[in-house]
Structure 1
Amino acid sequence: MSDVAAGGGRGVPPESPGDLNAAVRGVRRGDEAAFRAVYRSLNPELLRYAAVIVGQDAEDVVAETWLQIARDVLRFEGDGAAFRRFALAVTRNRARDVLRRRKRRVQEISLPTEELPEPRVSAASGGSVAPDAAEVAGTELSTREIVSLIATLPGPQAEAVLLRVVLDLDTRSTAEILGKRPGAVAMALSRGLKKLARLVERPEATAVRR
């Protein structure tokens, strides 16, 4: 995973919500400077999200995301928070397109799946009580290292943890982006956090910390 995809800091846009609201209003008027401001604000977390789903193809996914946003933005209605959810949902759709293309390529060349590089390796399940977001974010691991560990979780759990813990979205917004019920998101989050806690505690995870 590239450093730019992993990024630094938690997933809160550098501008305040009010600034993002103002920039989105400018974008809806066709203001190019406002679009650049929105891009600078959201691009790092779109890269982090895409990297969890598709790994090294994150930059290509996000480039496609911004092309679609540029085409559709004048029809967008909503505030900065709604635009953020919209951008994350577009990123997810483009990333899933990449995964589908990968699957087709695997089928076309008729190689066993285990002979091909996988975007992530599922972590072993376990653990007793899932830590909350503050406990995960409060470990000595950097955000880049946490995102790298999240990418090893099964897909639905990785996305739920990334959106809720790193990007700090609420359950309803996360469910909207993932197209799932809030209860399903909560279950995936709980399972993902348990596995993430086990990964942080495992001896081999210490190599990631250095």
Structure 2
Amino acid sequence: MTEADGPLTETIRAAQAGDETAFVHLYRALHPRLLRYVGTLVGDAEGDGDAEEVTAGAWQEIARDLGTFDGDGTCFRAWCARIARTRALTHLGHRPARPARGPRHPGPRHPRAQRPAPHPEAAPKRPDSGRTLALIAWLPREEADAVALRAIVGLDAERAAYVLGTSPAAARSAAHRGVRRLADQLGEAAAGACLTGEPAGDATCTATWMLRGM
């Protein structure tokens, strides 16, 4: 549990005891993260359409089952993310198919020159959460899921694995691949925003810039 999750744990206990104000605090603390996470899954990075509908449904389920939750604040974020993810995937299975975006379809990886990518001149010159969310949503679904859980929901590999139903090693590997791919797409336009002392051309540095923009 992180230090910031201590008060969240206390709020969870109060909400489970029937404190409606505490539940409102939980909602305000977690809703923006869940909404952005769901947006990367359903293709609504702005969170004003499908993502809002799915996240609202997730909160109904969270409220219904809150009494069954047993864990700290960090586990609660993972628990809520898992509920939201399940509803998002169910939503995707029930809506009409949309044209595939980026490399989400199965098959061998496309060469870099053929990979759908943001135009270099359109890359943000400073942290831009909307653009960052769109870039995360562009990733293959496995990588998008892992990166979003780390960058948006704030989960470590172990808890991300719980949400994804996989191993911590697999969750960590998917997040690493996704961040490297994002760093490659952001390229030199983001390198100048790196922290002082970091190698400007390093992919990890560029990815750090990307995550700071969330």
Summarize deviations over 1:105-130 as a string: whole Å, max 9, x none.
44xxxxxxxxx444x4228576xxxx
Q: How has the CA–CA distance of structure 1 residues 85 and 125 changed in structure 2, closer, same or farther, with 3 Å as cutoff?
A: farther
The residue number in structure 2 matching 1:52 is: 40
Equivalences for 1:7-86 in 2 at 5 Å? Answer: 16-56=4-44, 57-86=50-79
Residue 181 of structure 1 pairs with residue 167 of structure 2: yes
Q: TM-score, normalised by structure 2?
A: 0.71
The answer as to whether partners of 2:5 and 2:74 remain within 8 angstroms in 1 is yes
- Amino acid in the other structure paired with 2:60: L
Counterpart CA distance in 2 for 1:24 and 1:96 is 26
Q: Please state how far the C-alpha of 1:168 moved relative to its aligned partner.
A: 2.7
Question: How many residue pairs end up in the alignment?
Answer: 167
Summarize deviations over 1:118-164 as a string: whole Å, max 9, x none.
4x4228576xxxxxxxxxxxx83323321111110011100111112
- Amino acid in the other structure paired with 2:145: E
Residue 93 of structure 1 pairs with residue 86 of structure 2: yes
Larger RCO of the pair (alpha carbons < 8 Å, separation 6+): 1
Which stretch shows the higher mean deviation, 43-52 or 178-187? 178-187
Residue 122 of structure 1 pairs with residue 103 of structure 2: yes
* RMSD (Å) for aligned C-alpha atoms: 2.5
The residue number in structure 2 matching 1:142 is: 128
Counterpart CA distance in 1 for 2:51 and 2:179 is 23
Counterpart CA distance in 2 for 1:27 and 1:143 is 31
Q: Please state how far the C-alpha of 1:84 moved relative to its aligned partner.
A: 1.1
Q: How has the CA–CA distance of structure 1 residues 76 and 100 changed in structure 2, closer, same or farther, with 3 Å as cutoff?
A: same
Gaps of 5+ in 1: 1-14, 107-115, 127-138, 204-208
Q: TM-score, normalised by structure 1?
A: 0.72
Q: Please state how far the C-alpha of 1:201 moved relative to its aligned partner.
A: 2.0
Q: Please state how far the C-alpha of 1:202 moved relative to its aligned partner.
A: 8.1
Gaps of 5+ in 2: 45-49, 105-109, 113-124, 190-212
Local SS of the residue matching 2:126 = coil
Q: Please state how far the C-alpha of 1:77 moved relative to its aligned partner.
A: 1.5
The residue number in structure 2 matching 1:8 is: none
Counterpart CA distance in 2 for 1:76 and 1:190 is 30
Ranges of 4+ aligned residues in structure 1 off by more than 4 Å: 123-126
The answer as to whether partners of 1:51 and 1:58 remain within 8 angstroms in 2 is yes
